[in-house]
């Protein structure tokens, strides 16, 4: 495994690989006046956020999607047509997202958007699609806030952060935990999720103490007092959590951290997280060592195509692409944007190798939430 000398160096490395991957993903268009006689390929576009706070999730999610599309093409594609997987990077700004969507509009055989990552990019894209009334399916984003559920162009198949927060706090309530601390990695996370955490803790009668971001998460960890709750809910990414655990490790009192699905537990340990602080994380996909058929094919495909370890985030990207292909296969005739959107709007229940996609009244199939824990020797336990 690669060692990371600091909590931010991984993102520097990933930023370079993301750019290369985007170039590799770009479709190769045929020359005018020339024809191979083969059916014209379909394009599925994936928008990924390459900003520092989103890079870890976006890169792994994209790798999982790419592995799935390569495997699907190797087995004949969709409806006898190959899929050109186009990756477009955005920088977190609305202008960047607008430019990405405008470029997609100019590709007539782009039939769907699949696997937008991460949460901020997905929310921006939902808003633009609503504003433009653009009829293209936006499938399986990572993640989409629950307050955007019900949109007739977006089809979320993973549990929102709000669902994860509720599930995590329910687990603590069942265990009889009377109080909880909530630590936010940035002002943005605090603004987005503070109210959700407050609501969920109040409903479950758990006393909540919130810790606003100060910029130095290691310092936040070091400054906790004996009155600080033993169990802390952390809202943020992997490098931020590493910094926080390094600060907590300096304290004598044992504490436990509950994180959400954006945290990669294996990477967290590689980056030097304190091993004396137990960390649990919610997952919106099965364990990567599960015996479910979709997990088995994911692991085999990833090992064959990429020199990458299995992660929940890349498994989610793999499932996103597989679900997209299943619905595309149900379209009669040559899929178009309109016929593809209509197929997704049927919201039929689909079993993706044991991962069940079944939409509720809010138009989301995201009820799957579980938790995993990393042991001091690096093993992942469900």
Average pLDDT, the chain: 85
36 pLDDT above the threshold of 50: no
Residue 62 · residue 121 · CB < 8 Å = no
Picking from 299, 296, 298, 266, the residue whose alpha carbon sits closest to that of residue 281 is 266
CATH number for 9-27+39-159+290-357 (one of 1.10.275.10, 3.40.50.150, 3.40.50.2300, 3.40.50.1000): it is 3.40.50.2300
User: How would DSSP label each residue in 123-138?
Assistant: HHHHHHHHHHT---EE
pLDDT at residue 275, rounded to an integer: 75
- Enumerate the β-bridge partners of residue 215: none
pLDDT at residue 253, rounded to an integer: 82
Residue 333 · residue 324 · CB < 8 Å = no
Length of the chain: 382
pLDDT at residue 35, rounded to an integer: 43
- Sketch the domain layout of the chain as residue ranges: 9-27+39-159+290-357, 162-283
10 pLDDT above the threshold of 90: no
Task: Assess whether the region 9-27+39-159+290-357 and the region 162-283 belong to the same CATH fold.
Answer: yes
Quote the pTM value. Answer: 0.87
pLDDT at residue 368, rounded to an integer: 86
360 pLDDT above the threshold of 70: yes
Average pLDDT over residues 331-340: 95
pLDDT tens digits for range 12-32: 434 444 553 443 333 333 333
Per CATH, domain 162-283 is 3.40.50.180:
no
Q: What is the CA radius of gyration of the chain?
A: 21
pLDDT at residue 62, rounded to an integer: 96
Q: Are strands 256-259 and 231-235 parallel, antiparallel or unpaired?
A: parallel
pLDDT at residue 172, rounded to an integer: 87
pLDDT tens digits for range 285-328: 999 989 999 999 999 999 999 999 999 999 999 999 999 999 99
pLDDT at residue 302, rounded to an integer: 97
Confidence class of residue 331 from pLDDT cuts 50, 70 and 90?
very high
pLDDT at residue 372, rounded to an integer: 87
The single residue listed with the structure tokens 């990567």 is: 288
Average pLDDT over residues 139-167: 86
In the chain, pLDDT over 70 holds for what percent of residues? Answer: 88
Give the burial class of 131: count Cβ atoms within 10 A of its Cβ; 0-12 exposed, 13-18 middle, 19 or more buried.
exposed
């Amino acid at each position: 495994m690669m060692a990371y000398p600091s909590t931010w160096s991984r993102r520097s490395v990933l930023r370079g690989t993301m750019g290369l991957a985007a170039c590799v993903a770009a479709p190769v268009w045929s020359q005018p006046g020339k024809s191979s006689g083969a059916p014209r390929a379909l394009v599925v576009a994936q928008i990924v956020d390459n900003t520092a706070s989103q890079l870890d999730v976006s890169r792994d999610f994209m790798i999982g999607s790419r592995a799935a599309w390569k495997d699907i093409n190797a087995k004949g594609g969709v409806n006898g047509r190959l899929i050109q997987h186009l990756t477009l990077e955005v920088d977190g700004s609305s202008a960047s997202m607008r430019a990405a969507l405008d470029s997609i509009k100019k590709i007539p055989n782009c039939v769907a958007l699949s696997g937008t990552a991460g949460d901020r990019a997905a929310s921006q894209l939902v808003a633009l699609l609503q504003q433009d009334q653009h009829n293209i399916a936006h499938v399986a984003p990572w993640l989409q806030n629950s307050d955007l559920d019900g949109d007739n162009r977006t089809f979320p198949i993973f549990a929102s952060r709000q669902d994860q927060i509720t599930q995590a706090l329910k687990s603590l309530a069942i265990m009889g935990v009377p109080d909880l601390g909530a630590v936010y990695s940035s002002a943005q996370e605090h603004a987005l999720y503070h109210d959700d955490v407050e609501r969920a803790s109040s409903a479950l009668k758990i006393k909540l103490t919130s810790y606003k971001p100060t910029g130095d998460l290691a310092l936040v960890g070091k400054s906790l007092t004996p009155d600080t709750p033993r169990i802390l809910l952390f809202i943020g990414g992997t490098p931020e959590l590493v910094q926080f655990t390094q600060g907590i490790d300096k304290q004598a009192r044992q504490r436990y951290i509950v994180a959400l699905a954006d945290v990669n537990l294996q990477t967290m340990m590689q980056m030097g997280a304190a091993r004396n602080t137990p960390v649990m994380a919610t997952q919106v996909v099965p364990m990567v060592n599960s015996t479910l058929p979709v997990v088995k094919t994911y692991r085999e495909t990833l090992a064959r195509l990429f020199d990458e370890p299995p992660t929940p985030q890349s498994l989610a990207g793999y499932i996103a692409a597989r679900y997209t292909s299943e619905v595309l296969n149900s379209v009669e005739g040559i899929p178009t944007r309109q016929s593809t959107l209509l197929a997704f709007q049927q919201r039929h229940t689909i079993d993706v190798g044991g991962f069940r996609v079944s939409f509720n009244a809010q138009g989301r199939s995201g009820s799957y939430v579980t938790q995993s824990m990393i042991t001091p020797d690096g093993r992942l336990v469900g």
